[in-house]
Amino acid sequence: MPKIKILPHEELCPMGAELDANKGDTVLDVVLKNGIKLEHACEKSCACTTCHVIIKKGFDSLEESSELEDDMLDKAWGLEPESRLGCQAKIEDQDLTVEIPKYTINLAAENH
């Protein structure tokens, strides 16, 4: 069973976490199931960047990103070569180390 190590995030997961995952789960589904409130404004439809994560270890074990995901990621704050949308990053059989960026761009929340 693969594990996801979440690096400490000041607001969402101050102590960091090590989470069990199943092959085929998305990073977003695993963190939400474990009580980490990672934003997902588009309800996992690959239409925003609020679930942007950086895969610090295990990036190459993930399925390649789609063109739609790449287009969305271009709009993400703090984009890095190992960036993925949590809702699209499906876990295979390798452990992952994940960083949740400090900021996110949530146009829906900013307009209220």
Structural domain boundaries enclosing 80:
3-110
Label residue 107 by pLDDT band (50, 70, 90).
Answer: low
pTM for this predicted structure = 0.91
pLDDT in tens, 31-88: 999 999 999 999 999 999 999 999 999 999 998 999 999 999 999 989 999 999 999 9
Confidence of residue 112 (pLDDT cuts 50, 70, 90): very low
How many domains are contained in the chain? 1
pLDDT band at residue 104, thresholds of 50, 70 and 90? confident
Q: What is the pLDDT of residue 106?
A: 61
**Torsion sign over Cα 16, 68, 112, 30:** negative
CATH number at residue 68: 3.10.20.30
Q: What is the pLDDT of residue 61?
A: 96
